Amino acid sequence: MLRDSDDQSEGAQLLKIGDIERTGRSKLGALALVPMWFRYKDGTEREGWTIVQFRETNQGTSCVVQGSHGYALNAKK
Q: What percent of the chain has pLDDT over 70?
A: 71
Tell me the per-residue pLDDT of 40-56, one tens digit each, with 9 for 90 and over: 888 888 888 888 888 87
Query: In sequence order, what are the beta bridge partners of 14?
Result: 38
Task: Indicate the pTM of the whole model.
Answer: 0.63
Tell me the per-residue pLDDT of 19-44, one tens digit each, with 9 for 90 and over: 999 999 888 888 888 888 888 888 88
Give the pLDDT confidence score for residue 71 in this predicted structure: 47
Residue 10 contacts residue 41 (beta carbons within 8 Å): yes
Count each helix (H run) and each strand (E run) in the chain, helices first: 0, 5
**Geometric angle at alpha carbon 31, from 29 and 37, rounded to 5°:** 150
Q: What percent of the chain has pLDDT over 90?
A: 6
